[in-house]
Structure 1
Amino acid sequence: MRYTTDHLEELNVLSLFTLETTQEGIKVHSNARPEVIAATQRLFDKGLITQADGGYLTPLGHDAAEHSQVLLTILCSESRVTL
């Protein structure tokens, strides 16, 4: 299985959330790129966020955002591991 463009947009939306607090959400405005609006709607439909235009992370959404942000940190790392 490969990441699709839709998956990447969803991962980008998840990366916008601050994981240190459950009191901070996001709002995707109607003038955002259509791809971002669609990705946010899909995350809501999957039960990862509380509102179709953002809101807060659900417990499952928090787990997904945490994993996606860890993966992004790893992929952005400059260090090399030799096997």
Structure 2
Amino acid sequence: MPYNDDIQNEINLLVRFSQSSDHQGIKVHQDASPDMVTAVQSLFNKGLTTQMDGGYLTPLGHEAADQAHALLNILSAKS
């Protein structure tokens, strides 16, 4: 399944969460871009974040963010 814009926005938001601390969340304000508001709400609906506007990653969210970071690292590696 190829990425669509919605999934890309969700991934971009996931990688903004800190990998080094469980105590750093994010908040997407309602005046953010509509794409980011939709993405953060979708992550919440999928059980990846604790709040509709961001909050903290759930255990499943941590796993998804770790996988997203790993994929970006692989694709960004210089050959």
Question: Percent identity of the aligned residues?
Answer: 51
Paired with 2:23 and 2:41, the residues of 1 have a C-alpha distance of: 21
Larger radius of gyration: 1
Paired with 2:8 and 2:67, the residues of 1 have a C-alpha distance of: 14
Residue 78 of structure 1 and its aligned partner are, at CA, apart by 1.2
Paired with 1:32 and 1:72, the residues of 2 have a C-alpha distance of: 24
Alignment of 1:23-34 (within 5 A): 23-34=23-34
Counterpart for residue 62 of structure 1 = 62
Paired with 1:37 and 1:77, the residues of 2 have a C-alpha distance of: 30
Count of matched residue positions in the alignment of Structure 1 and Structure 2: 79
Alpha-carbon RMSD across the aligned residues, in angstroms, is: 0.6
SS for the counterpart of 1:55 is strand
Unpaired runs of 5+ residues, structure 1, are none
Q: TM-score by structure 1 length? A: 0.92
Q: TM-score by structure 2 length? A: 0.96
Unpaired runs of 5+ residues, structure 2, are none
